[in-house]
Structure 1
Amino acid sequence: MDLTIRPVEMNDAKEINDMRRMEGIMENILGLPSETVQNSQEYLNRMDAMRHQFVAVVKVDRNTEMVVGTVGLHVNPLPRKRHCGSLGIMVHREYQSMGIGTRLLETVIDLADNWLMLKRLELEVFSDNEKAINLYQKMGFEIEGIRRKAAIRNGRYADEMVMSRIRNEE
């Protein structure tokens, strides 16, 4: 698989939106079936120095690539929390369990550790999303707690797990 991780581009909005609405992904990222490409375009237009977004792309043929995953890092803008960032990630349903999530997280962790000097990375994940939890733990995230009935998923209230990774001083 010819995989590249690169910064997001405006023309990625449609494929990002398609993934956000994909069954099996939408339920786990707080997406909605009514989300439009315009929502994704507006998100990309709001990107500033505190938001960083990467996409994983595979070559379909010589001239065409396809977005198969994305990861975002939002640095907390509050001066006393500037050392913290929050993550969001998704991988196309047909490309899961191929190491793409690991590559995306490695990219954003490198940015956080070596370029932004963030001390704390945090994320929220549904407490029954074992594949994602295992990936996060593999990347050094630890469980901090459970937020009970924190989100709606498929017509029911669901628990979210709060996880964080604290950068070790060297």
Structure 2
Amino acid sequence: MKFEKTFYTVKSGKQITVRSPLVADAQAILSLKRGYIENTTTLPLTLEEYPNNLKKESHLIEEYQNSTNSIVLIAEFEDELIGNIDLTGSKRSKINHTAMLGMGIQKDWRNQGLGKILITAAVDWAKNKSKIEIVWLAVYASNELGYNLYKNMGFEVSGIIKDFFKENEDYIDKVQMYQRIK
């Protein structure tokens, strides 16, 4: 995984950095993830179910560093992690040209253009530095902001699974989206 540290400006005018994480970033990444998982209504995971600890997060970073069809990137502002994105490529030979996108952004940084920046950085890496041809993702149908972001970034709906998620007593459809990048 090779990614050049890059600087971007978000809507508020603040300059952020997007880069590959180091193992030393594991604790900060864990804190970031736990922060956006807590009380979420757009991820199929509760804080109690999040499996990673410091050792597992460190190992995950190393796995991404050694992969040819996967990448994880972090966004930071003034040395504070504010978002992350990963493209996780399949290890199976018949589908290793595909990667699943996952992303999380600190609540205070949403609607600043950070999602677009992270997706652009990850997809550009995939186009130019990997064998990935198709990027796919799943989004809650109720996540209008996320769905619109992905649609505006060129992702297309490839299917809907009715009532896939259950938040409290409400059922929510799962929207599968993809983008052919090569």
TM-score category by the smaller chain? 0.7 to 0.9
Q: How does 1:1-170 map to 2 (within 5 A)?
A: 1-22=14-35, 26-34=40-48, 38-39=52-53, 41-46=55-60, 47=63, 48-49=66-67, 50-59=69-78, 65-154=79-168, 156-168=170-182
Partner amino acid, structure 1, of 2:92: L
Deviations, residues 36-56 of structure 1 (Å, cap 9, x unaligned): 795364144032414311000
TM-score of the pair, normalised by structure 1 = 0.84
TM-score of the pair, normalised by structure 2 = 0.79
User: What SS does the corresponding residue of 1:29 show, helix, strand or coil?
Assistant: coil
Q: How many residue pairs get matched?
A: 163
Partner amino acid, structure 1, of 2:77: V
Bigger Cα displacement from structure 2, 120-129 vs 9-18: 9-18
Partner amino acid, structure 2, of 1:39: N
Answer yes or no: is the 8 Å Cα contact 1:55–1:67 preserved in 2. yes
Which consecutive residues of structure 1, in runs of 5 or more, have no partner in the other structure?
60-64
Deviations, residues 9-45 of structure 1 (Å, cap 9, x unaligned): 2333333333333367733223322257953641440
Deviations, residues 80-109 of structure 1 (Å, cap 9, x unaligned): 111111100011100011111111101110
Q: Distance in 1 between matches of 2:156 and 2:50?
A: 34
Answer yes or no: is the 8 Å Cα contact 2:89–2:100 preserved in 1. yes
Bigger Cα displacement from structure 2, 97-106 vs 45-54: 45-54
Partner amino acid, structure 2, of 1:18: S
Which consecutive residues of structure 2, in runs of 5 or more, have no partner in the other structure?
1-13
- Change in CA separation of 1:44 and 1:30 when aligned onto 2, cut-off 3 Å: farther
User: What SS does the corresponding residue of 1:21 show, helix, strand or coil?
Assistant: helix
- Change in CA separation of 1:158 and 1:7 when aligned onto 2, cut-off 3 Å: same
Partner amino acid, structure 1, of 2:74: V
User: What SS does the corresponding residue of 2:111 show, helix, strand or coil?
Assistant: coil
Answer yes or no: is the 8 Å Cα contact 2:135–2:179 preserved in 1. yes
Q: Distance in 1 between matches of 2:26 and 2:51?
A: 6
- Change in CA separation of 1:133 and 1:36 when aligned onto 2, cut-off 3 Å: closer
Q: Distance in 2 between matches of 1:52 and 1:7?
A: 8
Bigger Cα displacement from structure 2, 19-28 vs 2-11: 19-28
Answer yes or no: is the 8 Å Cα contact 2:70–2:99 preserved in 1. no
